[in-house]
């Protein structure tokens, strides 16, 4: 009766794994049937080929472009390309003058327009604020209850800018949806607009533009200073306006300082999105406002970099465009797949040679791991636009050995318990308890290395780190959901429980240390020579050894040591 519980748990775990696989497959089939995806994973630039565009930056007033401005241009384009959902794009500078954009496939018209457009920064006064999401239908204001503007707006902060139509749009405006779609829209600088602040989770109705971004001469992060010039220990962002900007900002702060609530704020808008909306605490006449508000050094530096986009509005002209062939990548992919298949076959052969029928559990686990990995790559390509690069393929090949290592550690733990005289069911229970700790630590190290590599690396190396981390997680799912449960079930069969010679769990054959025991441990020649003198010696003591208790084994071993002395 004691064996019923573990068997039921094992079958339940395998049912959960099967259900997970069926659900993932069903989602994929539904996506293919709806024409939203395909059965093949999306490929990156090096495998699929794509488009390479050489962009020449253009600046208003024909000003010279330095390396700092060019680096900012690259960052702007990278943010915009990533925002369109294109992954694995490569964006670099060329000859210190041009920008080279390489991306998989062929960019659509919207992506081209985003790449070529200049960064549009502007300062607008806040009229009203609201929640980040759209108002529920039942909470929206009826049209006859919306206040009607009393007259012509007198200044950009005048609430008469808010018409009934604009207020209804504001209530229905859903920032998460708008930001996810990344729709780029040019707003009339002389009209109000609706915008979102993703950092603070707020949406606004903003008045017309008061100061364009071109009037920023510099922006930088520094430690904040108080009224007496003493350092407060808080990070701040300092903006420096040119003469026209200083005059306009002085007039703006004189008006805003007298207003209350959200109308005391001015919003800094970049490409239609609010990046900061500070309140006005004083009239700034020197054109050097200081923005504070719980900044860290990193966040202050990031905001300063964004503000610099407005200091030199750069647009881009496509000088040349060509299609990139994936022939080289395809050849390398073919070679990588061949290497992976060879490695997989060698693992299969070794598993069958070393573990006999038990090796079939390894083979089945590896195949199940491959199916889950494939489904994950295809679904991630559909939902997150993940693209498999050549470096990602290399990560999958490396993962074959790391996954097989988990099975070897587990099997060797079980065989160690069998050597100590435990029955197979008990050996599996005890061996699993010891092996899973080793496996968890090993996979935690693999996952940590993958995460660190993904964070600090750039380009295709991140693809290697991603697949390495993905397979580490899937390996744990397979070990817990298939490998161990299947072994628990097989331990109750006569073939394995009685230690058939072809089962890989025959106690009479476990005196020999395997060639490879996992985690890089290799057998040295000469070890256990007595236990490996020949099949005839092994057969002679097989039955007696199998019937011995642990105490009898130890007594026999002690007697043998005394005889040798």
State how far the Cα of 185 lies from the Cα of 117, in Å rounded to an integer. 11
Query: From CA 18, how far away is CA 482, in angstroms rounded?
Result: 9
Contacts of 180 (CB under 8 A, 6+ apart): none
Q: Where are the domains of the chain?
A: 46-117, 121-316, 340-524, 533-565
Q: How far is it, in rounded angstroms, from Cα 36 to Cα 31?
A: 5
Higher pLDDT, 447 or 60: 447
Q: How far is it, in rounded angstroms, from Cα 315 to Cα 339?
A: 46
Task: Domain 340-524: give its CATH code.
Answer: 1.20.1640.10
Contact 76, 101 (CB under 8 A): no
Q: Is residue 379 very low, low, confident or very high in pLDDT (cuts 50, 70, 90)?
A: very high
**Nearest one of 396, 441, 125 to 265, comparing CA atoms:** 125
Confidence of residue 88 (pLDDT cuts 50, 70, 90): low
Per DSSP, the three-state class of 155 is coil
Cβ atoms of 120 and 313 closer than 8 Å: yes
**Radius of gyration of the chain from its Cα atoms, rounded to whole angstroms:** 34
- So what's the pLDDT on residue 540? 36
Phi and psi, residue 517, nearest 5°: -110, 15
Confidence of residue 325 (pLDDT cuts 50, 70, 90): confident
Asked if pLDDT for residue 435 goes beyond 70, the answer is yes
Residue % of the chain over a pLDDT of 90? 33
Highest mean pLDDT among 207-211, 266-270, 541-545, 549-553: 207-211
- b/e per residue, 185-205, with b = 16+ CB within 10 A? eebeeeebbbbbbeeeebbbb
Stretch 149-158: mean pLDDT, rounded? 87
Q: Decide which of 68 and 399 is more confident.
A: 399
Q: What is the mean pLDDT of residues 405-419?
A: 88
Q: What one-character DSSP code corresponds to residue 227? A: T
pLDDT value at position 552?
A: 58
Q: What is the mean pLDDT of the chain?
A: 81
The dihedral sign for the CA sequence 339, 343, 349, 353: positive
Nearest 5°: phi and psi at 55?
-105, 135
- What percent of the chain is modeled with pLDDT above 70? 81
Residue 245 parent element (H or E): helix 243-256
The vertex-211 CA angle with 209 and 214, nearest 5°, equals 120
At which residue do the structure tokens 């290497």 appear?
339
CATH of domain 121-316: 3.30.1360.200
- Environment class of residue 267 by beta-carbon count within 10 Å: exposed (0-12), middle (13-18) or buried (19+)? buried
Question: What pLDDT sits at residue 482?
Answer: 95
The lowest-confidence range among 94-98, 129-133, 228-232, 484-488 is 228-232
Please state the φ and ψ torsions of residue 206, each to the nearest 5 degrees: -110, 145
The answer to whether the CB of 413 falls within 8 A of the CB of 434 is: yes
Q: Got the DSSP string for 387-419?
A: -B-HHHHHHHHHHHHHHHHHHHHHHHHHHHHHH
232 Cβ neighbours under 8 A, 6+ residues apart: 223, 224, 225, 226
More confident residue, 372 or 300: 372
Q: Is the pLDDT of residue 265 over 60?
A: yes
Over 80: is that where the pLDDT of 560 sits? no
Mean pLDDT of the region 351-359? 88
Residue range 13-44, pLDDT digits in tens? 999 999 999 999 999 999 999 988 899 888 87
Structure tokens at 496: 């394995």
Residue scoring higher pLDDT (436 or 331)? 436
Q: What's the pLDDT at 211? A: 92
Q: What confidence score (pLDDT) does residue 93 get?
A: 79
Q: Which CATH class is domain 46-117?
A: alpha beta
DSSP state of 524: P
Q: Is the pTM of this model over 0.75?
A: no
* Per-residue pLDDT, 513: 45
Say how many Å lie between the first and final Cα of the chain, rounded.
47
What is the pLDDT at residue 486? Answer: 94
β-strand partners of 211: 123
Q: Is the per-residue pLDDT at 264 higher than 80?
A: yes
Per residue in 273-301, pLDDT tens? 898 899 998 899 998 998 887 788 888 88
Span 247-256, pLDDT tens digits: 999 999 999 9
Instruction: Give the pLDDT confidence of 496-550 residue by residue, as tens digits.
Output: 888 788 888 876 666 534 445 555 555 443 444 344 434 434 443 444 454 455 5
pLDDT at 306: 74
């Amino acid at each position: 009766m004691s064996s019923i519980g573990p068997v039921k748990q094992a079958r339940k775990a395998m049912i959960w794994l099967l259900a997970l696989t069926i659900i993932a497959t069903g989602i994929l089939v539904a996506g293919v049937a709806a024409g939203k995806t395909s059965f093949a994973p999306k490929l990156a630039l090096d495998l699929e080929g794509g488009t390479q565009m050489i962009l020449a930056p253009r600046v208003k007033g024909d000003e010279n472009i330095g390396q700092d401005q060019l680096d900012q241009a690259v960052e702007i384009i990278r943010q915009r390309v990533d925002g369109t959902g294109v992954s694995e794009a490569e964006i670099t500078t060329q000859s210190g003058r041009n920008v080279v954009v390489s991306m998989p496939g062929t960019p659509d018209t919207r992506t081209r327009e985003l790449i070529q457009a200049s960064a549009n920064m502007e300062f607008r006064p806040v009229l009203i604020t609201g929640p980040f999401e759209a108002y529920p239908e039942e909470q929206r204001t009826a049209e006859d209850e919306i206040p009607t503007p009393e007259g012509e707006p007198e200044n950009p902060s005048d609430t008469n800018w808010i018409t009934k139509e604009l207020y209804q749009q504001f209530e229905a405006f859903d920032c998460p949806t708008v930001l996810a779609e990344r729709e780029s829209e040019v707003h009339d600088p002389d009209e109000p607009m609706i915008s979102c602040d993703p950092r603070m989770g707020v949406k606004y109705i903003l008045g017309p533009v008061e100061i364009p971004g071109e009037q920023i001469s510099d922006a930088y992060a520094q430690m904040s200073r108080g009224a007496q010039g003493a350092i407060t220990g808080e990070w701040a962002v300092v903006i420096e306006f040119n003469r026209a900007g200083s005059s306009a900002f002085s007039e703006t702060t004189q008006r805003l300082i007298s207003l209350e609530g959200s109308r005391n704020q001015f919003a800094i808008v970049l490409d239609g999105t609010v990046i900061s909306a500070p309140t006005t605490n004083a009239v700034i006449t020197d054109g050097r406002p200081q923005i504070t508000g719980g900044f860290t050094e990193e966040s202050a530096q990031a905001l300063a970099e964004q503000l610099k986009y407005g200091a030199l509005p750069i647009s881009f002209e496509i000088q040349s465009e060509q299609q990139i062939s994936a022939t080289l990548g395809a050849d390398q992919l073919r070679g990588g797949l061949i290497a992976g298949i060879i490695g997989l076959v060698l693992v299969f052969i070794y598993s069958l040679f070393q573990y006999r029928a038990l090796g079939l559990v390894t083979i089945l686990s590896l195949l199940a791991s491959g199916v889950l990995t494939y489904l994950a790559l295809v679904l991630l390509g559909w939902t997150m636009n993940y693209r498999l690069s050549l470096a990602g393929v290399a990560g999958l090949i490396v993962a074959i050995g790391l996954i097989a290592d988990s099975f070897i550690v587990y099997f060797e733990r079980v065989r160690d318990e069998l050597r100590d005289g435990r029955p197979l069911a008990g050996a599996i229970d005890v061996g699993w308890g010891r092996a899973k700790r080793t496996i968890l630590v090993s996979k935690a190290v693999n996952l940590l290395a993958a995460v660190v590599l993904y964070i600090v690396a750039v380009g295709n190396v991140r693809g290697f780190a991603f697949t390495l981390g993905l397979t580490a997680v899937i390996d744990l799912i397979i070990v817990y959901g298939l490998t161990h449960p299947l072994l628990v079930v097989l331990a109750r069969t006569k073939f394995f429980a009685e230690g058939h010679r072809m089962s890989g769990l025959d106690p009479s054959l476990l005196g020999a240390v395997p060639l490879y025991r996992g985690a890089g441990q290799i057998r040295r020649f000469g070890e256990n020579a007595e236990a490996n003198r020949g099949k005839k010696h092994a057969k002679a003591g097989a039955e007696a050894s199998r019937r011995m208790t642990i105490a009898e084994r130890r007594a026999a071993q002690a007697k043998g040591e005394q005889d040798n002395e």
